[in-house]
Amino acid sequence: MQIDRFSELILSANELVILSHTNPDGDAIGSVVAMKRFLTLQGKQSTIIIPNKHPEYLSFLDPDGEMLVYKENRKRAENIIRSCDLILALDFNQLSRIDELEPIVRESLSHKVLVDHHPSPEKGPFDLVFSETEISSNCELLYWLFNSYRNGEMPLEVAEPLYVGMMTDTNNFANSVLASTFKMASNLIEAGVDKERLQHLVFGGFNESRMRLMGHLLSEKMTILPEFEAGFIMLSKEDQERFSFSEGDSEGFVNIPLSIKGINISALFTESEGVVRVSLRSSNDFSVNKMARRFFNGGGHERASGGKLFIPFDQVADYFMESLNICIEEYRNEQI
Protein backbone atom coordinates (compact mmCIF):
# COMPACT_ATOMS: atom_id res chain seq x y z
CA MET A 1 0.00 0.00 0.00
CA GLN A 2 2.81 2.38 0.88
CA ILE A 3 4.48 1.60 -2.44
CA ASP A 4 1.23 2.43 -4.25
CA ARG A 5 0.99 5.74 -2.42
CA PHE A 6 4.65 6.46 -3.18
CA SER A 7 4.08 5.82 -6.86
CA GLU A 8 0.92 7.99 -6.88
CA LEU A 9 2.78 10.88 -5.28
CA ILE A 10 5.58 10.64 -7.83
CA LEU A 11 3.24 10.33 -10.80
CA SER A 12 1.18 13.35 -9.79
CA ALA A 13 4.18 15.59 -9.03
CA ASN A 14 5.70 17.97 -11.56
CA GLU A 15 8.43 19.66 -9.59
CA LEU A 16 10.30 17.34 -7.25
CA VAL A 17 12.97 18.14 -4.69
CA ILE A 18 15.33 15.55 -3.17
CA LEU A 19 16.91 16.52 0.16
CA SER A 20 19.47 15.11 2.52
CA HIS A 21 21.18 16.11 5.74
CA THR A 22 23.90 18.61 6.70
CA ASN A 23 27.48 17.34 6.24
CA PRO A 24 26.24 14.74 3.75
CA ASP A 25 28.19 11.46 3.78
CA GLY A 26 28.36 8.62 1.27
CA ASP A 27 24.97 7.24 2.24
CA ALA A 28 23.30 10.66 1.96
CA ILE A 29 24.84 11.44 -1.43
CA GLY A 30 24.34 7.88 -2.68
CA SER A 31 20.66 8.15 -1.69
CA VAL A 32 19.91 11.49 -3.36
CA VAL A 33 21.78 10.60 -6.57
CA ALA A 34 20.13 7.17 -6.82
CA MET A 35 16.71 8.77 -6.26
CA LYS A 36 17.32 11.43 -8.92
CA ARG A 37 18.40 8.84 -11.49
CA PHE A 38 15.48 6.61 -10.56
CA LEU A 39 13.05 9.50 -11.09
CA THR A 40 14.66 10.42 -14.40
CA LEU A 41 13.93 6.89 -15.60
CA GLN A 42 10.27 7.49 -14.69
CA GLY A 43 10.38 10.63 -16.85
CA LYS A 44 10.45 12.96 -13.83
CA GLN A 45 12.71 15.98 -13.49
CA SER A 46 13.99 16.68 -9.98
CA THR A 47 16.44 18.91 -8.10
CA ILE A 48 18.83 17.68 -5.41
CA ILE A 49 19.33 20.18 -2.58
CA ILE A 50 21.87 19.62 0.20
CA PRO A 51 22.43 22.05 3.12
CA ASN A 52 26.22 22.24 2.64
CA LYS A 53 28.84 20.78 0.32
CA HIS A 54 29.69 17.08 0.33
CA PRO A 55 33.28 15.84 0.69
CA GLU A 56 35.32 16.03 -2.50
CA TYR A 57 35.71 12.24 -2.85
CA LEU A 58 31.98 11.92 -3.61
CA SER A 59 32.09 14.33 -6.57
CA PHE A 60 32.21 11.45 -9.04
CA LEU A 61 28.53 10.81 -8.23
CA ASP A 62 27.68 14.31 -9.46
CA PRO A 63 29.91 14.71 -12.54
CA ASP A 64 27.92 17.66 -13.94
CA GLY A 65 27.75 19.51 -10.61
CA GLU A 66 23.95 19.53 -10.67
CA MET A 67 23.46 19.35 -6.92
CA LEU A 68 22.26 22.60 -5.43
CA VAL A 69 24.14 23.52 -2.25
CA TYR A 70 21.94 25.71 -0.04
CA LYS A 71 24.88 27.55 1.58
CA GLU A 72 26.15 28.57 -1.87
CA ASN A 73 22.81 29.39 -3.47
CA ARG A 74 20.27 30.24 -0.79
CA LYS A 75 17.70 32.20 -2.82
CA ARG A 76 17.47 29.64 -5.61
CA ALA A 77 17.17 26.70 -3.22
CA GLU A 78 14.48 28.50 -1.20
CA ASN A 79 12.46 29.32 -4.31
CA ILE A 80 12.59 25.76 -5.57
CA ILE A 81 11.49 24.34 -2.19
CA ARG A 82 8.64 26.87 -1.98
CA SER A 83 7.31 26.12 -5.45
CA CYS A 84 7.84 22.35 -5.68
CA ASP A 85 4.98 19.90 -5.21
CA LEU A 86 6.88 16.92 -3.78
CA ILE A 87 9.83 16.77 -1.35
CA LEU A 88 11.69 13.48 -0.89
CA ALA A 89 13.72 13.60 2.35
CA LEU A 90 16.41 10.92 2.53
CA ASP A 91 18.72 9.57 5.25
CA PHE A 92 17.72 11.79 8.19
CA ASN A 93 15.13 11.39 10.94
CA GLN A 94 14.52 14.97 12.12
CA LEU A 95 14.08 18.15 10.11
CA SER A 96 16.57 19.78 12.49
CA ARG A 97 19.22 17.73 10.61
CA ILE A 98 18.90 20.15 7.66
CA ASP A 99 19.61 23.22 9.83
CA GLU A 100 18.60 26.48 8.15
CA LEU A 101 16.48 24.64 5.58
CA GLU A 102 14.17 23.34 8.31
CA PRO A 103 11.68 26.26 8.45
CA ILE A 104 11.54 26.50 4.65
CA VAL A 105 10.70 22.82 4.32
CA ARG A 106 8.17 22.97 7.17
CA GLU A 107 6.37 25.89 5.52
CA SER A 108 6.38 24.34 2.05
CA LEU A 109 2.88 23.27 0.96
CA SER A 110 4.27 20.37 -1.07
CA HIS A 111 3.66 16.70 -0.33
CA LYS A 112 6.53 15.20 1.65
CA VAL A 113 7.99 11.69 1.80
CA LEU A 114 10.65 10.49 4.24
CA VAL A 115 12.89 7.48 3.57
CA ASP A 116 15.23 6.88 6.50
CA HIS A 117 16.99 4.28 8.65
CA HIS A 118 17.56 6.19 11.93
CA PRO A 119 15.56 5.46 15.11
CA SER A 120 12.50 7.57 16.04
CA PRO A 121 11.82 9.47 12.81
CA GLU A 122 9.78 12.67 13.02
CA LYS A 123 6.56 11.71 11.22
CA GLY A 124 4.44 14.86 11.63
CA PRO A 125 5.50 16.85 8.56
CA PHE A 126 5.38 13.85 6.20
CA ASP A 127 2.57 12.37 4.09
CA LEU A 128 4.41 9.08 3.82
CA VAL A 129 7.27 7.60 5.88
CA PHE A 130 9.45 4.63 4.99
CA SER A 131 11.44 3.87 8.14
CA GLU A 132 13.56 0.78 8.75
CA THR A 133 16.31 0.72 11.35
CA GLU A 134 17.34 -2.94 11.03
CA ILE A 135 19.20 -2.29 7.82
CA SER A 136 22.73 -1.39 6.73
CA SER A 137 22.07 2.01 5.23
CA ASN A 138 19.50 4.29 3.72
CA CYS A 139 20.71 3.16 0.31
CA GLU A 140 19.74 -0.39 1.22
CA LEU A 141 16.24 0.77 2.18
CA LEU A 142 16.00 2.59 -1.17
CA TYR A 143 17.23 -0.52 -2.95
CA TRP A 144 14.37 -2.62 -1.55
CA LEU A 145 11.93 0.21 -2.27
CA PHE A 146 13.04 0.58 -5.91
CA ASN A 147 13.08 -3.18 -6.25
CA SER A 148 9.42 -3.59 -5.37
CA TYR A 149 8.61 -0.56 -7.53
CA ARG A 150 10.36 -1.77 -10.64
CA ASN A 151 9.96 -5.51 -10.15
CA GLY A 152 13.63 -6.21 -9.56
CA GLU A 153 15.02 -4.42 -12.59
CA MET A 154 18.03 -2.35 -11.46
CA PRO A 155 19.70 -0.06 -14.02
CA LEU A 156 23.44 0.41 -13.51
CA GLU A 157 23.22 4.19 -13.07
CA VAL A 158 20.94 3.62 -10.04
CA ALA A 159 22.86 0.59 -8.75
CA GLU A 160 26.18 2.50 -8.53
CA PRO A 161 25.21 5.24 -6.05
CA LEU A 162 23.27 2.68 -3.99
CA TYR A 163 26.40 0.55 -3.73
CA VAL A 164 28.44 3.58 -2.59
CA GLY A 165 25.96 4.38 0.20
CA MET A 166 25.89 0.81 1.44
CA MET A 167 29.67 0.50 1.27
CA THR A 168 30.36 3.75 3.17
CA ASP A 169 27.63 3.41 5.84
CA THR A 170 28.87 -0.08 6.74
CA ASN A 171 32.48 1.18 6.85
CA ASN A 172 33.29 -1.13 3.95
CA PHE A 173 31.16 -4.08 5.06
CA ALA A 174 32.43 -4.02 8.66
CA ASN A 175 29.41 -2.69 10.64
CA SER A 176 25.62 -3.09 10.42
CA VAL A 177 25.89 -5.77 7.74
CA LEU A 178 22.91 -8.11 7.55
CA ALA A 179 22.03 -11.01 5.27
CA SER A 180 19.89 -8.59 3.25
CA THR A 181 22.95 -6.36 2.74
CA PHE A 182 24.93 -9.12 1.03
CA LYS A 183 21.88 -10.00 -1.06
CA MET A 184 21.71 -6.42 -2.20
CA ALA A 185 25.45 -6.24 -2.84
CA SER A 186 25.26 -9.42 -4.89
CA ASN A 187 22.33 -8.12 -6.95
CA LEU A 188 24.05 -4.80 -7.59
CA ILE A 189 27.19 -6.54 -8.80
CA GLU A 190 25.01 -8.62 -11.11
CA ALA A 191 23.51 -5.35 -12.34
CA GLY A 192 27.03 -4.40 -13.48
CA VAL A 193 28.52 -2.44 -10.58
CA ASP A 194 32.32 -2.36 -10.83
CA LYS A 195 33.15 -2.84 -7.14
CA GLU A 196 36.92 -2.39 -7.55
CA ARG A 197 36.41 0.95 -9.26
CA LEU A 198 34.05 2.19 -6.53
CA GLN A 199 36.33 0.83 -3.82
CA HIS A 200 39.19 2.83 -5.31
CA LEU A 201 37.14 6.02 -5.78
CA VAL A 202 35.77 5.97 -2.23
CA PHE A 203 38.63 4.55 -0.15
CA GLY A 204 41.63 5.16 -2.38
CA GLY A 205 41.36 8.84 -3.19
CA PHE A 206 42.70 10.49 -0.06
CA ASN A 207 45.45 13.06 -0.21
CA GLU A 208 48.78 12.91 1.59
CA SER A 209 47.91 15.55 4.21
CA ARG A 210 44.90 13.52 5.36
CA MET A 211 47.07 10.46 5.88
CA ARG A 212 49.64 12.50 7.85
CA LEU A 213 46.86 14.05 9.96
CA MET A 214 45.64 10.54 10.78
CA GLY A 215 49.15 9.50 11.82
CA HIS A 216 49.53 12.57 14.00
CA LEU A 217 46.15 12.06 15.70
CA LEU A 218 46.78 8.37 16.40
CA SER A 219 50.20 9.08 17.78
CA GLU A 220 49.55 12.27 19.78
CA LYS A 221 45.82 12.92 20.14
CA MET A 222 44.24 9.58 20.90
CA THR A 223 43.48 8.66 24.53
CA ILE A 224 42.70 5.09 25.55
CA LEU A 225 40.67 4.41 28.69
CA PRO A 226 40.94 0.65 29.32
CA GLU A 227 38.76 0.84 32.46
CA PHE A 228 35.88 2.13 30.31
CA GLU A 229 36.79 -0.01 27.27
CA ALA A 230 36.86 3.33 25.44
CA GLY A 231 39.09 5.48 23.30
CA PHE A 232 38.76 8.99 21.92
CA ILE A 233 40.49 11.32 19.46
CA MET A 234 40.68 15.12 19.69
CA LEU A 235 40.87 17.02 16.38
CA SER A 236 41.69 20.66 17.17
CA LYS A 237 41.51 23.72 14.92
CA GLU A 238 45.27 24.01 15.19
CA ASP A 239 45.79 20.49 13.79
CA GLN A 240 43.18 21.13 11.08
CA GLU A 241 45.17 24.14 9.90
CA ARG A 242 48.51 22.39 10.16
CA PHE A 243 47.33 19.48 7.98
CA SER A 244 45.17 21.53 5.53
CA PHE A 245 42.05 19.76 6.78
CA SER A 246 39.00 19.76 4.55
CA GLU A 247 35.49 18.44 5.17
CA GLY A 248 35.39 14.68 4.90
CA ASP A 249 39.08 14.16 5.76
CA SER A 250 38.13 12.77 9.17
CA GLU A 251 35.65 10.26 7.70
CA GLY A 252 36.31 6.90 9.36
CA PHE A 253 38.71 8.22 12.05
CA VAL A 254 36.14 7.56 14.78
CA ASN A 255 36.18 3.83 14.02
CA ILE A 256 39.93 3.42 14.49
CA PRO A 257 40.06 3.04 18.31
CA LEU A 258 37.55 0.16 18.01
CA SER A 259 40.22 -1.93 16.33
CA ILE A 260 42.24 -1.96 19.58
CA LYS A 261 41.76 -5.11 21.64
CA GLY A 262 39.36 -4.53 24.53
CA ILE A 263 38.03 -1.20 23.19
CA ASN A 264 34.28 -1.12 22.49
CA ILE A 265 33.40 2.57 22.67
CA SER A 266 34.97 5.31 20.62
CA ALA A 267 34.60 9.05 20.12
CA LEU A 268 35.94 11.74 17.83
CA PHE A 269 35.73 15.42 18.83
CA THR A 270 36.22 18.01 16.11
CA GLU A 271 36.69 21.67 17.03
CA SER A 272 34.62 23.81 14.69
CA GLU A 273 33.24 27.38 14.41
CA GLY A 274 31.54 27.97 17.82
CA VAL A 275 30.80 24.28 18.28
CA VAL A 276 32.54 20.97 18.93
CA ARG A 277 31.26 18.21 16.62
CA VAL A 278 30.90 14.82 18.27
CA SER A 279 30.96 11.34 16.69
CA LEU A 280 30.36 8.25 18.80
CA ARG A 281 30.67 4.55 17.99
CA SER A 282 30.25 1.32 19.89
CA SER A 283 30.95 -2.28 18.98
CA ASN A 284 28.76 -3.92 21.62
CA ASP A 285 25.33 -3.27 23.16
CA PHE A 286 26.42 -0.01 24.78
CA SER A 287 24.03 2.56 23.25
CA VAL A 288 25.85 5.62 21.94
CA ASN A 289 22.44 6.84 20.76
CA LYS A 290 21.31 7.17 24.40
CA MET A 291 24.61 8.79 25.33
CA ALA A 292 24.44 11.28 22.46
CA ARG A 293 20.87 12.25 23.35
CA ARG A 294 21.61 12.74 27.02
CA PHE A 295 25.04 14.39 26.96
CA PHE A 296 25.87 15.55 23.44
CA ASN A 297 22.76 17.26 22.00
CA GLY A 298 22.40 14.61 19.34
CA GLY A 299 21.43 11.04 18.60
CA GLY A 300 21.47 8.53 15.78
CA HIS A 301 21.86 4.77 15.76
CA GLU A 302 22.53 2.50 18.73
CA ARG A 303 26.13 1.91 17.61
CA ALA A 304 26.78 5.07 15.59
CA SER A 305 25.70 8.49 16.77
CA GLY A 306 26.65 12.12 16.63
CA GLY A 307 26.06 15.40 18.39
CA LYS A 308 27.35 18.84 19.29
CA LEU A 309 28.93 20.48 22.33
CA PHE A 310 29.05 24.15 23.12
CA ILE A 311 31.90 24.19 25.65
CA PRO A 312 35.57 25.18 25.22
CA PHE A 313 37.53 22.51 23.36
CA ASP A 314 39.99 22.00 26.25
CA GLN A 315 37.12 20.97 28.54
CA VAL A 316 35.72 18.33 26.19
CA ALA A 317 37.90 15.41 27.32
CA ASP A 318 36.87 15.83 30.98
CA TYR A 319 33.22 16.22 30.02
CA PHE A 320 33.39 13.06 27.92
CA MET A 321 35.00 11.04 30.72
CA GLU A 322 32.40 12.22 33.24
CA SER A 323 29.48 11.35 30.98
CA LEU A 324 31.12 8.04 30.10
CA ASN A 325 31.46 7.25 33.79
CA ILE A 326 27.72 7.70 34.29
CA CYS A 327 26.69 5.83 31.13
CA ILE A 328 29.06 2.91 31.72
CA GLU A 329 27.82 2.44 35.26
CA GLU A 330 24.21 2.35 34.05
CA TYR A 331 25.15 0.01 31.23
CA ARG A 332 26.94 -2.39 33.59
CA ASN A 333 23.96 -2.37 35.96
CA GLU A 334 21.65 -3.25 33.06
CA GLN A 335 23.89 -6.19 32.19
CA ILE A 336 23.56 -7.78 35.65
Q: Give min distance, CB of 77 to Mn ion, in A.
A: 22
| Helix, strand or coil, per DSSP, at residue 143 | helix
Could you give the string, one character per residue 297-336, with x where binding to Mn ion holds by CB under 5 A and - elsewhere? ----------------------------------------
Q: Give min distance, CB of 80 to Mn ion, in A.
A: 24
Given the rule CB under 5 A, which of 102-110, 134-142, 244-252, 296-304 is the region that contacts Mn ion? 134-142
CB 169 within 8 A of CB 177: no
Given the rule CB under 5 A, which of 21-29, 172-180, 203-211, 293-301 is the region that contacts Mn ion? 21-29
- Of the candidates 21, 6, 18, 7, the residue with the CA atom closest to the CA atom of residue 81: 18
275-282/222-225 β-pairing: unpaired
Residue from 29, 91, 271, 307 in contact with Mn ion (CB under 5 A): 91
Closer CB to Mn ion, residue 169 or residue 229?
A: 169
Query: Which residues 6+ apart lie within 8 Å of 122 measured at CB?
Result: 93, 94, 95, 114
Task: State the number of binding residues for Mn ion (CB under 5 A).
Answer: 4
Closer CB to Mn ion, residue 166 or residue 265?
A: 166
282 binds Mn ion (CB under 5 A): no
Give residue 277's identity as a one-letter amino acid code: R
Q: Give min distance, CB of 255 to Mn ion, in A.
A: 15
Closer CB to Mn ion, residue 35 or residue 234?
A: 35
Residues numbered 42-71 forming contacts with Mn ion, rule: CB under 5 A: none
271 binds Mn ion (CB under 5 A): no
Closer CB to Mn ion, residue 138 or residue 270?
A: 138
Closer CB to Mn ion, residue 121 or residue 231?
A: 121
| Helix, strand or coil, per DSSP, at residue 46 | strand
Give the Cα separation of 37 and 52 in Å (integer): 21
Q: Give min distance, CB of 22 to Mn ion, in A.
A: 13
Query: Which residues lie across from 19 on neighbouring strands?
Result: 49, 89
Closer CB to Mn ion, residue 217 or residue 304?
A: 304
Closer CB to Mn ion, residue 23 or residue 138?
A: 138
Q: Give min distance, CB of 91 to Mn ion, in A.
A: 5
169 binds Mn ion (CB under 5 A): yes
For residue 44, the tally of other CB atoms under 10 A from its CB is 16
Give the Cα separation of 266 and 68 in Å (integer): 34
Q: Which residue is nearest to Mn ion (CB)?
A: 27
Q: Give min distance, CB of 237 to Mn ion, in A.
A: 27
Give the Cα separation of 154 and 87 in Å (integer): 23
Query: Which residues lie across from 114 on neighbouring strands?
Result: 89, 129
Residue from 6, 13, 16, 27 in contact with Mn ion (CB under 5 A): 27
Query: Which residues lie across from 305 on neighbouring strands?
Result: 280, 300
Query: What is the phi/psi pair of residue 136, to 5°?
Result: -70, -35
Q: Give min distance, CB of 242 to Mn ion, in A.
A: 31
Within 13 Å and on the Cβ side, how many CA atoms surround 4? Answer: 1
- Of the candidates 151, 119, 150, 147, the residue with the CA atom closest to the CA atom of residue 132: 119
251 binds Mn ion (CB under 5 A): no
138 binds Mn ion (CB under 5 A): yes
Q: Give min distance, CB of 117 to Mn ion, in A.
A: 6
For residue 207, the tally of other CB atoms under 10 A from its CB is 14
Q: Give min distance, CB of 142 to Mn ion, in A.
A: 11
User: CA-CA-CA-CA torsion for 317, 318, 319, 321, nearest 10 degrees?
Assistant: 90
Give the Cα separation of 18 and 81 in Å (integer): 10
Residues that bind Mn ion (CB under 5 A): 27, 91, 138, 169
